[in-house]
């Protein structure tokens, strides 16, 4: 696992956006096959998306040959609801880049048969060739996508029940009322994320410090599903001084030494 530490979220987001752009361009230079990316929602990726949008508008990057799959969506929330992940993604990314509408995939939390929806999603990912890169965030309790504590590290796309903690944290988007946050969601599994050739996780701010300590230094455990990244050959966490503040000084120094030695 690599850990990229930047001063703040603005610098970390720039690093992530430029890294993603470089990966998309590198594949485009090598093959005509599409670049398949997993995408996340939440406040964390907004600055990264803003930089990707800037690059597309400046003609420095194109999503014309990119296929995306979002990691999760609430169950039962109308697609047009301002806090649906469909609305979020269109507002903060898709409506401002040149990705083809048919290449955009987001789980349908209103599907009449959610299990069939999840199985079809896994198949669509495989049919697209599997993920080249998965961009994720992390919840305060270490959850990746909506894989709450005690989700199997072998889990695949499925319906999950959200923890009260997550509903309380996400209540800020729902009039500060946790009861308005849907109780269930569809989410890719931990194993779906880890099936990607590489995984980049963004985590900024002191509220993520415990999750990063558990994921980086703790045992690999279903209690902190981001810790599954320890078993991935190409996992990167992009963080800032606040979110990395709980790891040991020796761990911090090592990550900084790797950054310097490898010019990351
Ligand atoms: C939700 C999403 C996660 C996201 C997390 C953190 O739980 N399902 O994918 O990583 O929120 O959100 P934020 O970036 O707003 O802290």
Q: For residue 156, name the pLDDT band (cuts at 50, 70, 90).
A: very high
Name which of 228, 229, 218, 217 is nearest 255 in CA terms: 217
Measure the CA dihedral 232/236/237/240, to 10°: 160
DSSP conformational letter for 233: T
How far the first Cα of the chain sits from its last, in Å, is: 13
pLDDT at 38: 98
Share of the chain above pLDDT 70, in %: 100
Q: Is 42 in the pocket of ligand 1 (CB under 6 A)?
A: yes
For residue 252, the domain's CATH number is 3.40.50.1360
Look at residue 59 in the predicted model and tell me its pLDDT. Answer: 98
Residue 163 Cβ inside 6 Å of ligand 1? The answer reads no
Ligand 1 centroid to residue 42 C-alpha, Å: 4
Ligand 1 centroid–CA 151 distance in Å is 16
- Tell me how far apart the alpha carbons of residues 240 and 158 are, in angstroms, rounded to a whole number: 31
The predicted structure's pLDDT at residue 85: 96
How many domains does the structure of the chain reveal?
1
Q: Cα(73)–Cα(109) distance, rounded to whole angstroms?
A: 6
Q: What is the pLDDT of residue 6?
A: 98
Which residue's alpha carbon is nearest to atom 13 within ligand 1?
Answer: 42
Which residue, among 176, 125, 184, has the nearest Cα to 158 in the 3D structure? 184
Distance of CA 12 to the CA centre of its chain: 14
CA distances to 61, 149, 177 from 208, rounded to whole Å, are 30, 15, 22
Query: 3-class DSSP state for residue 61?
Result: coil
Ligand 1 centroid to 29 CA: how many Å?
33
For the CA of 43, the closest atom of ligand 1 is 15
Question: Is the CB of 190 inside a 6 Å radius of any atom of ligand 1?
Answer: no
Give CA–CA dist 21/164, Å, rounded. 36
Task: Single out the catalytic residue among 148, 214, 240, 246.
Answer: 148
Instruction: Kindly state the average pLDDT of the residues 141-164.
Output: 97
The range of the structural domain enclosing residue 107 comes to 2-262
Q: Is the CB of 44 under 6 A from ligand 1?
A: yes
- Write out the two tokens for 163: 């923890």
* Per-residue model confidence (pLDDT) at position 236: 98
Q: What is the pLDDT of residue 98?
A: 98
Pocket mutation for ligand 1, best pick of 44, 109, 161, 204 (most atoms within 8 Å of C-beta): 44
Atom of ligand 1 nearest to the CA of 71: 9
Atom 12, ligand 1: which residue's CA is nearest? Answer: 42
100 CA → ligand 1 middle, Å: 25
pLDDT tens, residue by residue, 198-217? 999 999 999 999 999 999 99
Residue 143 is among the residues annotated as catalytic for this protein: yes
User: What global pTM score does this model have?
Assistant: 0.97
pLDDT of residue 25: 98
């Amino acid at each position: 696992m690599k850990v990229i530490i930047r001063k703040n979220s603005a610098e970390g987001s720039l690093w992530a956006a430029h890294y993603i752009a470089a990966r998309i361009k590198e594949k485009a230079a090598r093959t005509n096959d599409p670049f398949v990316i997993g995408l996340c929602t939440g406040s964390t990726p907004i600055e990264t998306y803003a930089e990707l949008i800037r690059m597309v508008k400046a003609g420095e990057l194109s999503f014309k040959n990119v296929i995306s799959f979002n990691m999760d969506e609430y169950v039962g929330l109308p697609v047009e609801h301002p806090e649906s992940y469909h609305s979020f993604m269109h507002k903060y990314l898709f409506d401002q880049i040149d990705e083809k509408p048919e290449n955009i995939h987001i789980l349908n939390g209103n599907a009449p048969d959610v299990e069939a929806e999840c199985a079809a999603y896994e198949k669509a990912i495989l049919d697209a060739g599997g993920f080249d890169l998965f961009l994720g965030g992390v919840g305060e309790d270490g959850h990746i996508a909506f894989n709450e504590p005690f989700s199997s590290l072998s889990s695949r796309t499925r319906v999950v029940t959200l923890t009260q903690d997550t509903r309380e944290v996400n209540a800020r988007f729902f009039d500060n009322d946790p009861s308005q946050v849907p109780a269930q969601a569809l989410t890719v599994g931990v194993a779906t994320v880890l099936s990607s050739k590489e995984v980049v996780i963004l985590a900024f701010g002191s509220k993520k410090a415990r999750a990063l300590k558990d994921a980086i230094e703790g045992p690999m455990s279903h209690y902190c599903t981001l810790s599954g990244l320890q078993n991935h050959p190409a996992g990167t966490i992009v963080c800032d001084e606040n979110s990395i503040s709980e790891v040991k000084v020796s761990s911090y120094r090592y990550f900084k030494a790797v950054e310097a030695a490898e010019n990351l």
